Structure 1
Amino acid sequence: MMFRDAMEQCVLAANKTSLIIVDMQKDFIYTEGRLYVTDSEKIVAPLKAFLNRCRANGLTVVFTQDWHPEDAPEFRIWPKHCVAGTQGAEIIDELKPNPDEFIVKKETYDAFFNTELEDILNRVGVENVILTGVVANICVLHTAGSAALRGFKVILPVDCIAALNDFDLKLTIRQVSFLYRGIITSSELISFDSSKSLSQFDLP
């Protein structure tokens, strides 16, 4: 079975769609961060522009925030990062959440695990999730899988995600497309229709 890797143009119902910004935190994005993601700063400008467009169209916006205790089991694998309450755990200045937007703190790769994310999305009637942020093949991918297995349609704008290397980025795109039937696109190819009452999007 082939997986779809071509960029797709889609029109989404604004009232059925959520923008999820995964872990755009200082420890990951800034070069002095404890777990800097190579080239992640390159997605800040397109993601900021897309966030502003999503806000203008009235989408539900959710930020996830890696939020670890000092002795987190994850630190056996990774350098200590995003410790609760530290500056490195803060969402970057360029993408500060608005007061009416959701912030979901998580301790694992999966933003649905032991968090209120699913309840938030269900409460506001979301059916489509646009996943952005870092790290593409870790928290973005795990969250994409959880979203798809819960019945949400996953849209992945590749200009708004970053990985530790190019191989990992390509792996993420393949897995989201093949395993989860996600829509692979770019932020510029996504548009919103506030008149749509259903969550259907236009496909090639």
Structure 2
Amino acid sequence: MKQALLIIDYTNDFVAEDGALTCGIEGQKIAGEILKLANNFLQREQWVILPTDLHKKNDPYHPETKLFPPHNLKNSWGRNLYGPLEEWYQKNQDNDQVYFFDKNRYSAFANSDLENYLRSRKIEELWLTGVCTDICVLHTAIDAFNKNFNLVIPKSAVASFDSQGHYWALQHFKNCLGAKII
């Protein structure tokens, strides 16, 4: 079965200590596992996809403007991939199995060509990693489920700034979306 690893929103603003909307230590702890998975997927000639949040400061038309402080702003340090993932991406960005794209909603499927990308490569199983477990990872998982993709969630490769939301989302993935939690 063809698989893709999605590394969702693993940026400085969501992970670095001084990020605008950071998960902090919890987000930083998962870096090694994400890199291990990314390398494993490339070695097995599977896909690594990096859907990454992109915003404009004080955009009056974006619903998140009212909910969160400015984050992942275009051309900002906060939008860069976090630490070792940025290095990994720079090294592998020309690999045809690596796909980085901008997203502007919680779900990586909303307003994007992700479904077409996956279907054209006959990818059936998605491994979801990154942040935040209970926001962007969750909304991506729900859309993936509704589009009949198989889901795997490596619990050591997802994090949130809300520990209760994180644990709730892990249970939701398993009990409501039929995801395999590893």
TM-score (norm 2): 0.90
CA positional deviation for 1:105: 0.7
Residue 40 of structure 2 corresponds to residue 53 of structure 1: yes
The RMSD of aligned alpha carbons is 1.1
Per-residue deviation, residues 31-53 of structure 1 (Å, max 9, x unmatched) = 01111113210000111112111
Larger CA Rg, structure 1 vs 2: 1
User: Taking every aligned residue pair, what percent have the same amino acid on both sides?
Assistant: 26
Partner SS for 1:130: strand
Structure 2 residue aligned with 1:42: 29
1:28 shift after superposition: 0.8
Q: Which structure's relative contact order is higher, taking Cα pairs within 8 Å and 6+ residues apart? A: 1
Letter in 2 for 1:18: A
Contact 1:47 1:160 in 2 (8 A): yes
Q: Indicate whether 1:161 and 2:158 are aligned.
A: yes
Kept in 2, the 8 Å contact 1:17–1:59? The answer is yes
Considering fraction of residues, name the structure with more helix. 2
Aligned structure 1 segments of 4 or more residues deviating by more than 6 angstroms: none
CA distance in 1, matches of 2:54, 2:113: 14
Instruction: Identify unmatched segments of 5+ residues in structure 1.
Output: 1-12, 186-204
1:103-118 alignment, distance < 5 Å: 103-118=100-115
**Higher deviation after alignment, 69-78 or 169-178:** 69-78
**Structure 1 CA distance, aligned partners of 2:31 and 2:165?**
19
* Shift of residue 21, structure 1, vs aligned partner: 0.4
Task: Tell me the matched-pair count.
Answer: 171
Q: Which amino acid aligns with 2:28?
A: E
1:90 aligns with 2:80: yes
